[in-house]
């Protein structure tokens, strides 16, 4: 399945992407899908976001499968819930995550460009949820920084939470989307820790959708690329991850209960601006695109706050 959040007709909606260019509003679709063999419509009482939908657990996933079956068999039944891409604006899939966790120095080629040894365990930090923006929303350069740097990242979205997760549970819990770990390097390095420089408003672009594991295949064999104004700045593969997605989920869940909608930024490959010669940083008017195989493209412009 592919989950998304979008705006249409003046309303914020959450739903599924059954095929390219079509979007299903889950709140409308469930009115058709509800029958004796699927969860009752009562499950949607008070549900207004994708995060709340995910918190429903297995009943919500069964309902999603039922809606996709109806789409395949007789999409006319869903006509009141179907939207064309030209009629919607995609937003961050999870607009209000409980937690955003991130991993530093998790690509072999990124460690090599810094000439530092590979870490022996994941280096974790946090980003504030208030940093989340969606596709086409502007990255805002803060007045207090002149050295803002984008980072292409594969993000894990927790679909089913828990603590002390096994390998099997880790695989069952993960969805995937594109993220951009925007970083104010001057703040990051002057603070001697990463949270403030990584958590400025708009510093967590996410989207355009969340894909389940069956859509992605092997998440550790995906091409990942960042372009600034059309010029490739990062180009690598998730095969270069030092700690893979399942290891990261297990590592974090040893100490922190993971909740549906939580986001894990898994690290960035080589090519970030701060380590270029000369260094390169974002400027107003820039356009940043992050593309990951099977997950689409996340595009954001840049303005001064």
Predicted local distance difference test score (pLDDT) of residue 36: 43
Query: Has residue 6 got a pLDDT over 60?
Result: yes
CATH of 2-91, one of 3.40.50.300, 3.40.50.10540, 3.40.50.12780, 2.30.30.230: 2.30.30.230
pLDDT tens digit sequence for 180-221: 999 999 999 999 889 999 999 999 999 999 999 999 999 999
Give 294: exposed, middle or buried? Use CB within 10 Å, 0-12, 13-18, 19+: middle
Highest mean pLDDT among 36-45, 104-113, 227-236: 227-236
Please enumerate, as own/partner, the contacts of 26-34 that have beta carbons within 8 Å and a separation of 24 or more: 26/53, 26/63, 26/64, 26/67, 26/81, 28/80, 28/81, 29/67, 29/70, 29/78, 29/81, 30/63, 30/67, 31/81, 32/67, 32/70, 32/77, 32/78, 32/80, 32/81, 33/63, 33/66, 33/67, 33/70
Query: Has residue 44 got a pLDDT over 70?
Result: no
Residues of the chain above pLDDT 70, percent: 96
Predicted local distance difference test score (pLDDT) of residue 53: 93
3-state secondary structure the chain: CEEEEEEECCEEEEEEEEECCEEEEHHHHHHHHCCCCCCCHHHHCCCCCHHHHHHCCHHHHHHHHHHHHHHHHHHHHHHHHEEEHHHCEEECCCCCCCCEEEEECCEHHHHHHHCCCCCCCCEEEEECHHHEECCCCCEEECCCCCCEECCEEEEEEECCCECCCCHHHHHHHEEEEEEECCEEHHHHHHHCCCHHHHCCCCCEEEEEEEEEHHHHCCCCCCEEEEEECCEEEEEEEHHHECCCHHHHHHHHHCCCCECCCCEEECCCCCCCHHHCCCCCCCCCCCEEEEEECCCEEEEEEEEEC
CB-based contacts of 183: which residues, under 8 Å, 6+ apart?
148, 149, 150, 151, 194, 197, 198, 203
- Per-domain boundaries in the chain: 2-91, 100-304
CATH of 100-304, one of 3.40.30.10, 3.10.20.440, 3.90.850.10, 1.10.287.110: 3.90.850.10
| 279-296 average pLDDT score | 98
More confident residue, 48 or 38: 48
Confidence band (pLDDT; 50, 70, 90) for 48? confident
Phi, psi of 130 (to 5 degrees): -70, -10
Predicted local distance difference test score (pLDDT) of residue 262: 98
Query: Has residue 145 got a pLDDT over 80?
Result: yes
**Considering the entire predicted model, what is its pTM?**
0.95
Predicted local distance difference test score (pLDDT) of residue 41: 54
Query: Has residue 14 got a pLDDT over 50?
Result: yes
Token pair, residue 88, equals: 């919607």
Predicted local distance difference test score (pLDDT) of residue 173: 94
């Amino acid at each position: 399945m592919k989950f998304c959040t979008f705006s249409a007709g003046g309303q914020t909606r959450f739903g599924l992407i059954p095929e390219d260019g079509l979007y299903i509003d889950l709140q409308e679709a469930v009115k058709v899908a509800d029958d004796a063999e699927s969860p009752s419509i009562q499950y949607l009482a008070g549900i207004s976001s994708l995060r709340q939908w995910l918190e429903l657990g297995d009943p919500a996933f069964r309902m999603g499968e039922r809606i996709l079956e109806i789409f395949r068999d007789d999409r006319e039944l869903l006509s009141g819930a179907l939207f064309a891409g030209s009629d919607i604006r995609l937003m961050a899939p999870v607009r209000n995550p409980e937690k955003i966790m991130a991993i530093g120095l998790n690509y072999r080629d990124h460690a090599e460009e810094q000439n530092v040894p590979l870490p022996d365990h994941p280096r974790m930090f946090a980003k504030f949820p208030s940093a989340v923006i969606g596709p086409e929303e502007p990255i805002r350069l803060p007045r207090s920084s002149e050295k803002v740097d984008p980072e292409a990242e594969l993000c894990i979205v927790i679909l089913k939470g828990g603590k002390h997760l096994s390998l099997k549970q880790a695989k069952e819990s993960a969805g995937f989307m594109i993220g951009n770990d925007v970083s104010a390097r001057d703040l990051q390095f002057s603070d001697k820790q990463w949270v403030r420089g990584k958590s400025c408003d708009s510093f967590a672009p996410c989207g355009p959708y969340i894909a389940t594991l069956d859509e992605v295949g092997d998440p550790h064999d995906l091409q990942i690329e960042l372009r600034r104004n059309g010029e490739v700045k990062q180009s690598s593969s998730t095969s270069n991850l030092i700690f893979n997605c399942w290891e990261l989920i297990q590592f974090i869940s040893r100490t922190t209960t993971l909740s549906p909608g939580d986001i894990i930024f898994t690290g960035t490959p080589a090519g970030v601006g701060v380590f270029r010669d000369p260094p390169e940083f974002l400027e107003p008017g820039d356009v940043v695109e992050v593309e990951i195989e099977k997950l689409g493209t996340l595009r954001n412009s840049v303005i001064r706050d």
